[in-house]
């Protein structure tokens, strides 16, 4: 059931007189027959005690304030957290403090959903105090305890519920769902980076369409769904493509609010602004040249998936076979142009002009022809 290194960790705790269990997403995914490589372990050993049990290993203090250390075995990280309960939440984001506790049930009770509150050890078997097994069997997401209380403590849980519903295809239990709609405003309090992380996973889930439809009113608190939804599952599971599709023209604004990385912002803008893929080979070269090789493929995939464009594969052909789609791929450079007395800003102007000539088959991409042509270009 558990990978051998997780068993080793649990054995070492037990042999030193402590309790330890695998818990959280790993157990949930295992019961669902899904692969998961990140294993969380929960123990009654305090962080300092964990460090001494694993003194022969590399132990990183990754979240020592919250009782978490990471043990590295064979380059794989295992997060070990001391049983704890969360103190008061005054900001709907972070517990004001955490308190270490003695028994595993209290630790499991602080976890968000019943399916995430199952503990297991190969020595003692399963611990399932909150009906996690039953809910997994019925494919239901249900908070541990009163949903209003749990979502008021930490609004990130609302987004996690929607994300799990999308990724696992689980329904959200009635009361839990009611609380989500009633407390939806709170999700705007969650740190933008964390909202972004959850939304990326949500949009790439198998069940994204249903979740976007059902929970649009909730999601609209943090993302402007001004694009489309209906064909989302035709797109590859790529978060940029999916953000561009569901936000449409509002994608820039939404991504800025979510403090998304520049790469995502750039790709999304390109996708939203993209024009139909040309059917003519020359037009297609110019099209690819404007986007750049790297991004052309993303735009093709996007438009092919959604609109069935480029059935004939011309663009694929251009990317595979055309050796010159950018100024840097010309068989000539700025130094060559300086050699024929072209300088300053004119260098770029001439290189661009030469590229256009190559793309439109007016000249070959060979230094002699390019130099000859360069002398001819009228620079104003
Ligand atoms: P995945 O790793 O697939 O994203 P996960 O459920 O393992 O999903 P983690 O963030 O790795 O998510 O958290 C591990 C466990 O910690 C969860 O399964 C849950 O028991 C608990 N947990 C995580 N975030 C919260 C939260 N916001 N509130 C309560 N419990 C949480
Ligand atoms: Mg996890």
pLDDT band at 377; cut points 50, 70, 90: confident
Read off the tokens for 193. Answer: 């980076």
Q: Is the CB of 198 under 6 A from ligand 1?
A: no
CB of 157 closer than 6 angstroms to any ligand 1 atom = yes
CA 164, 199, 190: angle at the middle one, nearest 5?
A: 95
The model's pLDDT over 231-278, given as tens digits with 9 standing for 90+, comes to 999 999 999 999 999 999 999 999 999 999 999 999 999 999 999 999
Can you tell me which residue has the tokens 């999700």? 187
- Residues with Cβ–ion distance below 5 A, ligand 2: 25, 38
pTM: 0.91
Angle between helices 314-321 and 281-291 (to 10 degrees): 60
Output the CA 292–ligand 1 centroid distance in Å.
Answer: 39
Residue from 21, 116, 149, 152 whose mutation best tests the ligand 1 pocket (most atoms within 8 A of CB)? 116
Nearest to 56 by CA among 41, 37, 71: 71
Task: Report pLDDT for 37.
Answer: 80
Evaluate: CB of 156 within 6 angstroms of ligand 1.
yes
The Å distance, Cα 117 to ligand 1 centre, comes to 9
pLDDT digits (tens, 9 = 90+) for 338-370: 989 888 999 999 999 999 999 999 999 999 999
The CA distance from 368 to 183, in Å, is: 70
Residue 172 Cα, ligand 2 centroid: separation in angstroms? Answer: 20
Asked whether residue 300 carries a pLDDT value surpassing 80, the answer given is yes
Q: How many Cβ atoms sit within 10 Å of the Cβ of residue 4? A: 9
Residue nearest to atom 1 of ligand 1 (CA): 25
């Amino acid at each position: 059931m558990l990978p051998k290194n997780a068993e080793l960790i649990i054995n070492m705790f037990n042999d030193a007189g402590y309790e330890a269990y695998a818990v959280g997403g790993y157990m949930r995914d295992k019961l669902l027959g899904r692969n998961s490589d990140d294993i969380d372990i929960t123990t009654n050993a305090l962080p300092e005690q964990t460090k001494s049990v694993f003194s022969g290993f590399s132990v990183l203090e990754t979240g020592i304030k919250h009782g978490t250390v990471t043990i590295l075995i064979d380059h794989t990280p295992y997060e070990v957290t001391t049983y704890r309960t969360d103190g008061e939440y005054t900001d709907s984001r972070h517990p004001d403090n955490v308190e270490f506790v003695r028994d595993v049930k209290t630790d499991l009770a602080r976890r968000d959903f019943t399916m995430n509150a199952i503990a297991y050890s190969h020595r003692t078997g399963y611990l399932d105090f909150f009906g996690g097994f039953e809910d997994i069997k019925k494919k239901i997401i249900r908070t541990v305890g009163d949903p209003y209380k749990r979502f008021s403590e930490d609004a990130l849980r609302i987004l996690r519920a929607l994300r799990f519903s999308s990724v696992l295809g689980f329904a959200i239990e009635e009361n839990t769902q009611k609380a989500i709609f009633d407390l939806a405003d709170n999700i705007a309090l969650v740190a933008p980076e964390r909202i972004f992380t959850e939304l990326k996973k949500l949009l790439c889930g198998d069940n994204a369409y249903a979740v976007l439809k059902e929970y649009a009113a909730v999601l609209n608190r943090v993302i402007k769904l001004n694009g489309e939804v209906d064909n989302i599952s035709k797109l590859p599971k790529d978060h940029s493509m999916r953000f561009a599709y569901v936000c449409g023209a509002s994608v820039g604004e939404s991504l800025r609010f979510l403090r998304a990385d520049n790469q995502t912002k750039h790709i999304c803008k390109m996708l939203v602004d993209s024009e139909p893929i040309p059917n003519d080979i020359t037009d297609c070269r110019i099209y690819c040249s404007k986007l750049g090789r790297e991004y052309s493929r993303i735009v093709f995939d996007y438009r092919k998936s959604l609109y069935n464009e480029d059935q004939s594969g011309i663009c694929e052909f251009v990317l595979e076979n055309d050796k010159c789609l950018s100024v840097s791929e010309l068989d000539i450079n700025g130094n060559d142009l300086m050699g024929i007395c072209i300088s300053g800003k004119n260098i770029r102007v001439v290189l661009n002009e030469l590229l256009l000539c190559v793309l439109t088959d007016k000249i070959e991409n060979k230094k002699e022809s390019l130099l000859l042509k360069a002398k001819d270009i009228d620079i104003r």
